[in-house]
Structure 1
Amino acid sequence: MEEKKSTFKVLFYLKKNAPKKDGTVPIMIRTTIDGVEKTRSAKVSVNPDRWDKARMRVTGRDAYATKINNALDLWERNIGAKYDTLFHYEGYVTAEKVDNAVMGTDAKKMTLLTFFKQHNDEFKLKVGKTRAENTHRMYCDVYNHVSNFLKLKYNLSDIPLIELKESFIKNFDFYLRCEKNFKANTVRLYMVPLKRLTAMAKDDNIIAIDPFKHFVAEKESVDIGYLTMDEVEAMISADLPTKLLEIVRDMFVFCCFTGISHTDLKKLTRQNIQDFFDGNNWLVYRRRKTDIKSSIPLLEIPKKILEKYRDYQIGNRAFPVPEYDPCNNLIKIVAGFARIDKHLTFHMSRHTFATMMLSKGVPIETVSHMLGHSNITTTQIYARITNQKISDDMQKLSETLHNFEKALVDKI
């Protein structure tokens, strides 16, 4: 029997301990993936004397053998096809999932929260490999919101997936906005996991129509926060009372001058610092979120921070980076010592880098590459042009049009 991806096997065997009155024995199917088995009946029986154990088929070419063997061939093709489909769309397959897909598990029995939990449990197995813990946490948060919404709005502990309509999505959107008082962009963020779940359910033929098909979430324009150069200087110059605050400050400043995210900073090693053709040190890494390669020439400040932590050794990591939540809390304390009157988050370091680069005239295409964005539109959202950039541009324009303006001013 063919083996796929070195983890997948299908075996046919006889259940000899359960013979029927006519002397035939049921044929069973055992699907094994990564050592985990799922067994079910092939819904046909055979004379055990006609069974070829090695070939896992009935011997002979008569009508009797042909009928049973054709049935087994159909089982094998269906199981293989479902395995391939699940592996292609989800990247992770279990024997249970393949069996459910083959048998066309009754859609009426598949409920939203059951489907959601199965997804989250499987997603958790990928954390640290191909998925991030923060994303798993987001899925779990949305699961809890959906669960609470079902109880409050419908007095239900769960709901069949086939009963999901656009009205359910609109009501959940309203619940997040009005009951939970989340802002529009937070609601959009929470809608993404649910939308992915319903798309998966449609791909699995559990639902016929995606309830998100015509739904458009409200979006609000947000002025993304960043630090000015004066504020970055104040942060660097701040006298901090503890080593931990100093570490968080240094990590934030490093991100301000490289654009690297907290997740990628935490994984950074000395091997990511490379000598390039121009004789300078470059930070070269692949973004975890987009899997896009980023290459950033290092300025003097990030070089100095690298040198400061050269003796830090835990495995092969370049920096002693705390987890995101502690970093987020501690950077607010650092902002207080630096007398920065802004609601600071650690991710604002990335906004600061983008804005700083654009305000100094670096082309947006270059900034987009350094940030590892898959679409330049994302860069346009992140990188807000500073008032200083606008002032500089207008000053250059004024100088260019000086004589023209002077002639007109005299006439006003």
Structure 2
Amino acid sequence: MKKLKVCFYLKGDKKNQDGETAIYGKIYLGNGYSTFSTAKYIQQERWAKTNSLRNPVRIDFEINLKNYLKNLTDGIEDKYNQLLKTYSGDEEITPLYLKNYCFNDNPEHKITLLEIVATHNEYFKKQVKKGDRADGSLEKYERMGDVISDYLKSKLKQKDIEFDKITRKFVYGLDDFLRFERKHGAKIGLANNTTVKYIRNISVMVNYNITMGLISGNPFSIYDGKLKEVDTTFLTLEELRSIENKVFTNRRLDVVKDIFLFSCYTSYAPIDVMNLRQGNYTLDEDCDNWLKTKRQKTKVKTNVLVIPPLKRIINKYKSDPECIEDDRLIPSISNSKMNAYLKEIADLCGIDKNLTWYVGRHTFATTVALANGIPMEIISQIMGHKRITQTQHYAKLMDSSVKKHMKDLENHFE
């Protein structure tokens, strides 16, 4: 028998006309949970001051509210015990089933697609809070709720859809909507790779709900959209030097320049750069400096020898107050701000490319590593790739490397 637990919390984005915040509950069974609204509200400061109404209270409103939540908990426990008495063992009692059994007139309520998105994202938020996943990934999954809502409203004229009513027509209709009708800024329609990634993300969400026992089967598994290989943007050696030699008196641009160069000489992704602390900067037995860490995304070790350009940047921020306070190697900045400021730097340096943080990572693979003869296997390890095929993509971009090897071949035949 799974252990039942009921707890209550404030849902910050739900407020009434009096400025009070909605009280929501969670039903936990084993490792799963389901949320529900209590239809009650309270001032946030009173909720905090009374320790979520667990402390003794004297105000009539709070006494009545505390009793209401207790009776709600007792009722859920009673319903759970009733279910256990008639439980045949054929189907698992999930938190969602128990919630529907307690609050709906029809205990056979069918889970909807937007409920699946919400369930996955609640779990993902916990992973982000623990540091196992990145904020950027959470934003990607949260965006899926808006994408699905837009599709449902514009094409099906409804707010949600029961999961078991999702058909092949629905899946490929979503693909068609994203490619030709979804608005993206001033543009209408998304590129192939963005469309494919969106639908793959939905499939990931569905699979999580399958794992939690809330549904069975994934209708999005029939989707066969393929990612197309795209040209990767990277800096030439001349462009890299132009940024390196550019002097900025503005601290904002100077810091962004250093963080970008840091990625160019380490291949670290944004989240990996921001996770670096003094403890990641070490000496080996030969007194050489190393950066030792694991990639947030793949958990693969990505140890990098600290070459002179890197050492200059690290030394520059040794006594920086912001870095000292957080034990960082270099200052912190959000991905969105970083990319906005990089566009400004590109203009000032006369670089006609869409400069983003990830261009630094690609520049490492091509201009810094491959062009200087570092073997593909070593580059793959430094970049945190699990498969060398991920790294081999960069080799196709390097005409200079091709020329170098062909010149060697030319000399051989001469």
TM interval, shorter chain, is 0.7 to 0.9
Residues 1:41 and 2:49 aligned together:
no
Q: Answer yes or no: is the 8 Å Cα contact 2:370–2:395 preserved in 1.
A: yes
CA contact (8 A) 1:185 1:219 kept: yes
Report the AA paired with residue 268 of structure 2. Answer: I
CA apart distance, 1:10:
5.2
**Mapping 1:122-201, distance limit 5 Å:** 122-129=123-130, 130-180=132-182, 181-201=189-209
- Mark the CA change 1:191 to 1:106 in structure 2 (over 3 Å): closer, same or farther: farther
Instruction: Count matched residues.
Output: 339
Aligned-pair CA distance for 1:212:
2.3
Gaps of 5+ in 2: 6-26, 34-53, 55-68, 183-188
Structure 1 unaligned blocks of 5 or more: 3-7, 12-28, 46-70, 84-95, 403-412
> Is structure 2 residue 230 aligned with structure 1 residue 222?
yes
> How far is 1:41 from its partner?
3.1
Matches within 5 A, 1:8-407: 9=3, 39-41=77-79, 96-97=95-96, 99=98, 109-129=110-130, 130-180=132-182, 181-203=189-211, 207-312=215-320, 313-355=324-366, 356-382=368-394, 384-402=396-414
Distance 1:120 1:157, change over 3 A: same
2:231 match: secondary structure: coil
For 1:82 and 1:44, locate their aligned partners in 2 and report how far apart those are by CA, in whole Å. Answer: 12
Q: Could you give the per-residue CA deviations for residues 53-109 of structure 1, whole angstroms, max 9, x where no partner exists?
A: xxxxxxxxxxxxxxxxxx76979x999x878xxxxxxxxxxxx45846999x96752
Deviation at 1:221, TM superposition (A): 2.0
**Deviations, residues 101-141 of structure 1 (Å, cap 9, x unaligned):** 999x9675211112212222332233231221111111111
Amino acid at match of 1:346: W
Q: How far apart are the structure 1 equivalents of 2:240 and 2:172?
A: 43
Task: Give identity over the alignment, percent.
Answer: 27
Contact 1:240 1:337 in 2 (8 A): no
- How many angstroms apart in 1 are the aligned matches of 2:86 and 2:284? 58
Distance 2:343 2:123 in 1: 35
Look up the equivalent residue of 1:348 and give its one-letter code: V
Structure whose CA Rg is larger: 1
Q: Quick one: distance in 1 between partners of 2:30 and 2:138?
A: 27
CA contact (8 A) 1:284 1:295 kept: yes
Normalised TM-score (structure 1): 0.74
The structural deviation recorded for 1:336 is 1.3
Q: Which residue of 1 aligns with 2:62?
A: none
CA shift digits 1:131-170 (9 cap, x unpaired): 2111111111111011000001100100000011222111
The AA in structure 1 aligned to 2:326 is: G
Q: Is the Cα–Cα contact under 8 Å of residues 31 and 39 in structure 1 kept in the other structure? A: no
When residues 298 and 112 of structure 1 are mapped into structure 2, their CA distance, relative to the original with a 3 A threshold, is same
AA at the equivalent of 1:274: T
Secondary structure of the 1:282 match is strand
C-alpha RMSD over aligned residues? 3.2
Whole-Å Cα distance in 1 between the matches of residues 126 and 286 of structure 2? 42
* Contact preservation (8 Å) 2:264, 2:361: yes
Read off the aligned partner of 1:186 and give its amino acid letter.
Answer: T
Evaluate the alpha carbon distance shift between residue 190 and residue 397 of structure 1 in structure 2; reply closer, same or farther with a 3 A threshold: same
Q: Deviations over 1:302-344 (max 9, x none)?
A: 0111011111212211111211100001011111111111111
